[in-house]
Structure 1
Amino acid sequence: MSRPRKAEDPIRWPVPCSRCGQHHQTVARWPDGGVCGYCYQQAKRTRGVCACGHEGVLPGIIDEEPACRSCSGVRLNVDCVGCGAEDELYSGGRCWTCVLGDIVDDLLTDPATGVMATELIPLAAALKSMKRANSGMTWIRQKHVTAFLRNLATAPKISHDTFDELPDSRTREYVRGLLIEHGVLPQRNAFLIRYESWATQAMERVSDPQNLDVIRRYIRWHHQRRMNLMDEVSRGTFLRAKQEVTVAIDLLNWLTGHDIKLPELQQSHLDVWQSEGPTTRRIAERFLKWAIKTKAAPAGLTIVPHRRGTSPRLPKIGQDKALQQIIHTNGPETRDRAAAILILVFGQQAENIARLTWDDVTVTEDLVTIQLGTTKIALPDPLAQPWRELAANPGHELTAAHPNTKWVFRGTSPGRHIHPGHLTTRLSKLFNTRAARLGTLHELTKLAPVAIIAETLGYSPTTIERHATDSASAYARYIAAVNESVLHESPRN
């Protein structure tokens, strides 16, 4: 990544750069004129194919097009003495890739044996073959990363259990992700593992031993049992399970503080507890149903449920305005524009958008289609344009994290899609994603039958039916208001 430019100084550097026209220190004089340090750095990193057919670094400019050293007459040393390739040099006449390769081999080789473990060879190869070697160098030279890789080189065995025994850190999970992505470690249900670890810590917050047994059974037989049956635990399932257990613990600790045993729980106790706290306490309804079913709590108890339909919706005029901004401005990044279209036009959830793969998307010269439910949906222009751009340049392909990924929206973690929360945060600069999604579904139910919308967009019929009922109710209120207005304005006989 290029250094951010400082403010130009015409007084100190009166002669402007021949390339950018700004007043910075001249560091080289080439056939096209004096070049500042920023343009010099950019020239060393410009790669492509010259008009003469030479492929490599193109530091020169001829007729406003990049050109090789021979054609442009630019004198610049970009010949690596290590590999012989044309590239930006880092030190000792060697390019970033060669230096990075030596560092990787040094860190991942066991100093006691002078040999790299067989399991670490794919990781070393991936790190050394990064297209953006300078980014790899920046990452690997951080002290905590260097220390972690040195310790990994001496580990007696490379396995998930080995990683689990190490202190929890972002570096540990990132390297684990690299090893999974490059076939060293097997895939595993990451959210299930995270939930098990979280649950162990959560149970420490239970103040009564009898309630601890209840929570332990609730976690094991209600949540973990259900997760074990899933091919992959989604982020939404993980977060809901955490929230349900957290609220259940809050309820049980409140009972302990008021000297009330769970088998002695009465409706009046529940009403007081719910009224004293935030609205999230209604989530205890799920724990209460389980407790009643397993005879841990008396029958007949209820929690006031969440009243649906109270969340704000982005009105039609707001949806249209946001969509026009997405389509006709170049401010948002391509992937943000592509994701925004799925929310504003098709009412998709961020979690489902994040999980899209290129198997779900087809991009041809004539057509762009996306499969959200059971049907492929064709995107007309200009809605298709951001998707064409994203297919041509998906991003995150310059590091070792995503060598062969199929994720449309790639994340920073190796082999994983973008975090839905991160995607929502990015789009929040443009619109409220939840309000936009609800507003879109509200409008769609006015245009097509429930079954068709549910099948096409990948929603359950019950969810779309609820939006349709709400939409019809709103329309009925509108008609009633119109009729009442007409009645009052009619002349009396």
Structure 2
Amino acid sequence: MLTHPDTGSMSAQLAQVAAALKSMRRANSGLTWLNQPHVTAFLSELALAPTISHESLDQLPASRTRGYVRGLLVEHGALPRRDELAARYRDWATQALTRVVGDHHRDVIERYVRWHHQRRMNSMDRVTQGTFLRAKQSVTVAIELLNWLDARGIAIEHLEQAHLDTWQAEGPTTREIASRFLRWAINTRLVAPTLAMTPHRRGTSPKLSAAEQDGALQRVIAPDGLDPRERAAAVLVLVFGQQIEHVVRLTWNDVTVTPELVSVRLGGVDIALPPPLDQPWRHLAVEPGHDLTAAHPHSNWVFRGCSPGQHIRAASLRARLRDLFSTRAARLGTLHELTKLTPVAIIAEALGYHPATIERHAIGSATTYARYVAARANTS
């Protein structure tokens, strides 16, 4: 927390931001940002607070500027670090409760949020973007179900299988997500233990064929066109079947770059990247990006984001790759091809997947993983 005696002056607050801006390689960018009307207005409002803390920032209207200023102050030691996704979820859940029609069901959702999602987040070292989004999605669908029941005068305690079947049949396949809420309701004895959602049939998602994967990889390893960050991420998705959510969380502790070798730790194994798959990684090691501003003074993220001290958001990276391929279709296509060549146990260990996940993709085993990687590298 920062304090200052003169609550009517902006100088103390601005000094904290200005100190951060001094470390910038290109100071003009910081001055341009400070002179934008919406930034000046935000800092003027912040200057009226007797203290600068996470709590005083939370009292100001939510905006990108608020998040960016908070990030700068945290990265440069002016505010303590906190789990921003956990804080965002608490704020979101408070608003979500207002969407519940009935008082009784609002109490149910409040307990679901507090004793299931927030308790889980409190036990984590750091809330991941995936956990944050799944928690929002689970509560949103649960609210939809309870409002549907409320409109028919049915309390959650009187839920029957026929009600679930009707509700699920009337809506999109995303209603299956209510199974997460249903499991919690069963465990807390709100509903009968025999209730079940109709599962979505697996294996229906589109996947890239081997030819489509090779074509996409040819475009990725081309020397011109894509940004090195996008090329590096695309290699991990196309060749190693990695989820974007895992890719964005890589740090330079996971990557080794020497004149002879580039390797990336996936799961618990260091995977060597032969030429030309190593080229975007060598480029990133020299020019990691986002180093002209004060947002990343000590960042160890491989894929730095626009927000101070944060990695790029998975949705943003996925959108950047969308013109080349669907990351989901590419990942499923890769796993499909890998399981033709390599035993499940090897793939699961090398790529950080649960064996049961790989088992669903497995259709045979004929050669080694190293031969697969070499074959993909030789497509150039």
Fold equivalence (TM over 0.5): yes
Q: Are positions 1:159 and 2:53 aligned together?
A: yes
Instruction: Pick the aligned partner of 1:231 from 125, 128, 131.
Output: 125
For the residues of structure 2 that align with 1:326 and 1:298, how far apart are their CA atoms? Answer: 52
Residue in 1 aligned with 2:277?
Answer: 383
* CA 1:115–1:250: 2 relative to 1, 3 Å: closer
TM-score scaled by structure 1?
0.71
Instruction: Pick the aligned partner of 1:370 from 249, 264, 268.
Output: 264
Give the residue type in structure 1 aligned to 2:96.
A
Task: Please show how residues 356-367 of structure 1 align to structure 2 within 5 Å.
Answer: 356-367=250-261
Residue in 1 aligned with 2:219?
Answer: 325
Give the residue type in structure 2 aligned to 1:455.
E
* CA 1:370–1:390: 2 relative to 1, 3 Å: same
Deviation at 1:154, TM superposition (A): 4.3
Give the 3-state SS of the residue equivalent to 1:166 in structure 2: coil
Deviation at 1:147, TM superposition (A): 2.0
Q: Decide which moves more: 186-195 or 422-431.
A: 186-195
For the aligned residues, what is the CA RMSD? Answer: 1.9
Task: Please show how residues 91-102 of structure 1 align to structure 2 within 5 Å.
Answer: none
Give the 3-state SS of the residue equivalent to 1:335 in structure 2: helix
Listed as ranges, the gaps of 5+ residues in structure 2 are 366-380
Instruction: Pick the aligned partner of 2:288 from 385, 394, 403.
Output: 394
Give the residue type in structure 2 aligned to 1:188.
R
Aligned residues: 362
Residue in 1 aligned with 2:143?
Answer: 249
Instruction: Pick the aligned partner of 1:316 from 193, 203, 210.
Output: 210
Q: Decide which moves more: 286-295 or 406-415.
A: 286-295
For the residues of structure 2 that align with 1:405 and 1:332, how far apart are their CA atoms? Answer: 23
Which structure exhibits the higher relative contact order, with contacts defined as CA atoms closer than 8 Å and separated by 6 or more residues?
2
Instruction: Pick the aligned partner of 1:430 from 299, 324, 328.
Output: 324
Residue in 1 aligned with 2:297?
Answer: 403
The answer as to whether partners of 1:109 and 1:116 remain within 8 angstroms in 2 is no
Instruction: Pick the aligned partner of 1:268 from 139, 162, 170.
Output: 162
For the residues of structure 2 that align with 1:257 and 1:275, how far apart are their CA atoms? Answer: 17
Identity of aligned residues (%): 63
Listed as ranges, the gaps of 5+ residues in structure 1 are 1-107, 474-493
Instruction: Pick the aligned partner of 1:336 from 222, 230, 235.
Output: 230
Instruction: Pick the aligned partner of 2:98 from 204, 210, 235.
Output: 204
Residue in 1 aligned with 2:314?
Answer: 420
Give the residue type in structure 1 aligned to 2:226.
P
* CA 1:436–1:398: 2 relative to 1, 3 Å: same
For the residues of structure 1 that align with 2:361 and 2:347, how far apart are their CA atoms? Answer: 11
For the residues of structure 1 that align with 2:6 and 2:33, how far apart are their CA atoms? Answer: 21
Give the 3-state SS of the residue equivalent to 2:340 in structure 1: coil
Give the residue type in structure 1 aligned to 2:260.
D
For the residues of structure 2 that align with 1:211 and 1:456, how far apart are their CA atoms? Answer: 45
Structure number having the greater helix percentage: 2
**Which digits, 9 at most, give the CA deviation of each residue in 1:20-76, with x for residues without a partner?**
xxxxxxxxxxxxxxxxxxxxxxxxxxxxxxxxxxxxxxxxxxxxxxxxxxxxxxxxx
Deviation at 1:110, TM superposition (A): 5.7
* CA 1:196–1:115: 2 relative to 1, 3 Å: closer
The answer as to whether partners of 2:185 and 2:191 remain within 8 angstroms in 1 is yes
For the residues of structure 1 that align with 2:120 and 2:337, how far apart are their CA atoms? Answer: 35
Residue in 2 aligned with 1:11?
Answer: none
The answer as to whether partners of 2:93 and 2:113 remain within 8 angstroms in 1 is yes
Residue in 2 aligned with 1:4?
Answer: none
Residue in 1 aligned with 2:12?
Answer: 116
Task: Please show how residues 473-488 of structure 1 align to structure 2 within 5 Å.
Answer: none
The answer as to whether partners of 1:109 and 1:153 remain within 8 angstroms in 2 is no
Residue in 2 aligned with 1:220?
Answer: 114
For the residues of structure 2 that align with 1:114 and 1:299, how far apart are their CA atoms? Answer: 59
For the residues of structure 2 that align with 1:397 and 1:431, how far apart are their CA atoms? Answer: 28
Deviation at 1:311, TM superposition (A): 0.6
Give the 3-state SS of the residue equivalent to 1:435 in structure 2: helix
